Structure 1
């Protein structure tokens, strides 16, 4: 049997940081806590006696037996108290001790991240399967990937990547200004501009960089600019806004009235940017897009709209919520990603020609970064073309059918699903330890991978599982997931209390969460269980 506190850490880490680990985990371990407590009550004990206590504890601990030599070298004071603020050399700052202190802080608040070792499979018929390596190699099913439609393993996309690799090589060669520009860059940007019905588009290495660079560059360039930011915005937008150091105003999440209240306070002639997302990545909320755009324009602001979790998934050609709701012409700047529904990597912004040229000319995050490689450019372009076709429309319809089916089955079994009008299905837990426990049990015992979402990705108290079923998950797979998840839930004594918010929840969505007859007319799913439940 392995130690539940230390088995996730490598042996080399334990050997190097044994004092730190004993100080952190000793009080939680039933084997060694008694010895540590005993040492703590008598600081006058000899080093020999302390070493005896350590060796006794180690002899009973199956994991620490493997690092006995490291533990024997410990001094009693290291175990009883680790003083991270003290300096080992008066002239040198104790860098490593400081770094350890920061990591301990994360672990104590249960926001320290331990990555699961998962290799997703891309062979014919294998998606959404993967291999997981916690205790040897074993097959699992992935339920939390942002590869929403499986385009990363689409045969035509893979073939384009393969051809680009053989013809152009694996790298771009540098920044586009020096050696990295190509017809592949220009063709992909033209495709993206056409997708969003804009004059131009600009590629970045990620959408984080696209958001950060664009908002920072515009805010710094526009004289006296004010930025109005949705409270639920992604960290990439927050960073660009924060770094620009221009006046910022935060409006309540998806709340047009609050936005208007704030905009009224600033002269209409002052340059302004209103920044928000269409589909919120963690809650699945969908913004009141047209209303937010109209209010922004009413008070002389530009709109910056993040469609990262919507591109490929909504609209006739997969351009996002803007296309679905026929309001792309009201979106001054659109940012999107190539790394989610389009199955590759990279980000972009789209807008009118002069605005895009401005970012191209002044944006440091674009100018000074090695550009995307040929393989990514070719694969992304092919994925966009597929999702703009009839095949893409079929995939989107099947995707929505699966989302509706899985959500309905989860609710039917009493699992605490948060209501959302999008493809993201959040299951609220509200406790980081319990959230991690559910995720760990699912992958370890049941073969389902659903990552626990804890702080800082979500606020404390909002910890959740985030499911994202794809068109390639079968009903049998979804039924098995629900059965297994409910069993884990009950094994951990968690409550089965059903829907976590009202269907008209303002946080999820306000005007886009249409009344029954409006949703009924928009829904393409025959006998949709969600629509029937509202009737």
Structure 2
């Protein structure tokens, strides 16, 4: 084979193209690559002698001669008749002995009898018929393009919150921005009680914990925080995790794996962390309708009364603000012998006279119906981390068997100390909760008066309904670029497609002046987008302080 033909073959050979192999200069170097090629390696076991007798009807290595095309390689003059006959015989033998390789060998110019019949050479060169290394980068590019095409691709805004000027922040270019969508609901991340505590512990004990809870990462600050949380929820014990995602995932999968033949009944709108725990447990799962104790009871009634069961649900659903009929779900669960697992992530610090959540808001008798309660230290408490609280034996079981707790570095002492300070402070102070509630009421009233559609919500989360991913993202971008107001657009998969929204979370620091600015800016971008309004003060805009399931007041004086 001439040097020019080697170059031509190298440019078109799928193996060398896809692996990035350099085109060799000599025939013997090309032969050295054969053993690496998934097609030619099998073929040459039978046709090595035939391949070596191939006679190329072309002048040898003339640098001025144009490189022959692939079509030229298919012409009858390229291989002599004797070599082609032997190649054909070898192909037939291989077809009988290794039929699984036939479709691949058809792409090879030496042994593929179908090669000469192909009319579109480029098609076979571009196809995925030829086995080679998986094209990871191309696959990833296609997956990312899918997200961009359906407008669910996420771009992270550069928001640098300013502790001394909360809820202000600096943007990428240090422009002044007002944040309206943070989960730091009460502004505790910059409260002196928290910051001063963390500073003191940081200077004394350093930045990290040094290991897992079992290996040098267990401190008095971890125990003090767990005692504080157990007291908050009126439980025997608590256990701190690196996040509530990890707490939910680890606890659900650990309990469901440990309990024999356990089944988990999960609300259809549960958070991804709870879904992960259900899936990772490999236990049987049953999905019940959102916030529907009647549907839950039907499903529980069909199960063996002696079978271990866990009913998992949330108190406040983060993207809609919906609040569950907690007492009814607990009563139905216990009627059929199930453990109750409630996620109070968006409620702790916010509801109840000590901030224990919606359960406490409804009364201690309701809170006592929780077998397992999970919460976060990263939202109303303003720090980071998650936890569970429950009976001493249940918590100890998760501590002893939960891989998500055992095999990870523990939270730093400064973090656990700051979190404990925040929890303890909000057990007594009502100032932050009252201020936040006032501003939520003001915002809901203002939006009602303007006719801006809201997702019905009885709590502190104010979702503004858009219903289109592209428009929702555009409104969010324009608020930031034109008005220096940051409200994140919420798109799929956080919410279903067609249910896109802006999620607004006023804090105690969102004053009336800031509310005025926000309302004017929202109207400006709303009009630019050509979105419609509802009738002012329409009852379809937002739900009042009525629980949608029980049709009774949720919190008489809260929102």
TM-score (norm 2): 0.75
Corresponding position: 1:384 with 2:423: yes
313, 317, 322: which one aligns with 2:354: 317
114, 135, 155: which one aligns with 1:114: 155
Could you tell me which residue of structure 2 aligns to residue 19 of structure 1?
none
Could you tell me which residue of structure 2 aligns to residue 180 of structure 1?
217
Assess if the C-alpha contact under 8 Å between 1:419 and 1:500 holds in 2: no
Could you tell me which residue of structure 1 aligns to residue 407 of structure 2?
368
Report the CA distance shift for 1:84/1:360 in structure 2 as closer, same or farther (over 3 A): farther
Q: Deviations over 1:342-367 (max 9, x none)?
A: 00111000000000000000000000
- CA distance in 1 between counterparts of 2:150 and 2:124 reads 19
Could you tell me which residue of structure 2 aligns to residue 128 of structure 1?
167
Paired residues for 1:206-245 under 5 Å: 206-245=243-282
Q: What is the SS of the residue equivalent to 1:227? A: strand
Corresponding position: 1:478 with 2:519: no
Could you tell me which residue of structure 1 aligns to residue 291 of structure 2?
254
Q: Deviations over 1:170-198 (max 9, x none)?
A: 00111111110011110000000000000
518, 524, 534: which one aligns with 2:557: 524
406, 414, 432: which one aligns with 2:469: 432
* Most deviating of 497-506 and 104-113: 497-506
Q: Deviations over 1:105-159 (max 9, x none)?
A: 1111111100000000102xx11110112xx221011000000000000012100
Q: Deviations over 1:405-426 (max 9, x none)?
A: 1011011101011121110000
Could you tell me which residue of structure 1 aligns to residue 201 of structure 2?
164
Corresponding position: 1:288 with 2:325: yes
Could you tell me which residue of structure 2 aligns to residue 423 of structure 1?
460
- CA distance in 1 between counterparts of 2:169 and 2:277 reads 35
Could you tell me which residue of structure 2 aligns to residue 103 of structure 1?
144
Could you tell me which residue of structure 1 aligns to residue 302 of structure 2?
265
- CA distance in 2 between counterparts of 1:420 and 1:281 reads 10
Structure 1 residue 268: Cα displacement = 1.3
Q: What is the SS of the residue equivalent to 1:305? A: strand
Q: What is the SS of the residue equivalent to 2:496? A: coil
Corresponding position: 1:297 with 2:330: no
Q: Deviations over 1:430-456 (max 9, x none)?
A: 100000000000011011100000000
Structure 1 residue 497: Cα displacement = 2.2
- CA distance in 1 between counterparts of 2:466 and 2:124 reads 35
- CA distance in 2 between counterparts of 1:468 and 1:209 reads 24
Corresponding position: 1:406 with 2:443: yes
Q: What is the SS of the residue equivalent to 1:415? A: coil
167, 178, 181: which one aligns with 1:144: 181
Report the CA distance shift for 1:87/1:164 in structure 2 as closer, same or farther (over 3 A): farther
Could you tell me which residue of structure 2 aligns to residue 354 of structure 1?
393
Report the CA distance shift for 1:502/1:402 in structure 2 as closer, same or farther (over 3 A): closer
- CA distance in 2 between counterparts of 1:337 and 1:404 reads 24
- CA distance in 1 between counterparts of 2:201 and 2:234 reads 27
Could you tell me which residue of structure 1 aligns to residue 316 of structure 2?
279
* Most deviating of 225-234 and 86-95: 86-95
Structure 1 residue 508: Cα displacement = 7.1
Report the CA distance shift for 1:466/1:500 in structure 2 as closer, same or farther (over 3 A): farther
* Most deviating of 83-92 and 204-213: 83-92
Structure 1 residue 240: Cα displacement = 0.6
- CA distance in 2 between counterparts of 1:201 and 1:85 reads 59
- CA distance in 2 between counterparts of 1:297 and 1:316 reads 26
- CA distance in 1 between counterparts of 2:546 and 2:128 reads 48
What 5-or-longer segments of structure 1 have no aligned partner?
1-80, 531-535
Q: What is the SS of the residue equivalent to 1:202? A: strand
Q: Deviations over 1:302-348 (max 9, x none)?
A: 00000000000000100000111121110000000000000011100
Paired residues for 1:322-361 under 5 Å: 322-326=359-363, 327-361=366-400
Assess if the C-alpha contact under 8 Å between 1:144 and 1:467 holds in 2: yes
Report the CA distance shift for 1:286/1:367 in structure 2 as closer, same or farther (over 3 A): same
Structure 1 residue 523: Cα displacement = 3.1
Q: What is the SS of the residue equivalent to 1:93? A: coil
- RMSD, aligned CA: 2.2
Assess if the C-alpha contact under 8 Å between 2:256 and 2:264 holds in 1: yes
Report the CA distance shift for 1:475/1:482 in structure 2 as closer, same or farther (over 3 A): same
- CA distance in 1 between counterparts of 2:474 and 2:500 reads 12
198, 220, 226: which one aligns with 2:235: 198
Assess if the C-alpha contact under 8 Å between 1:284 and 1:508 holds in 2: no
Could you tell me which residue of structure 1 aligns to residue 434 of structure 2?
397
Report the CA distance shift for 1:211/1:501 in structure 2 as closer, same or farther (over 3 A): farther
TM-score (norm 1): 0.78
Structure 1 residue 524: Cα displacement = 3.1
- CA distance in 1 between counterparts of 2:382 and 2:437 reads 18
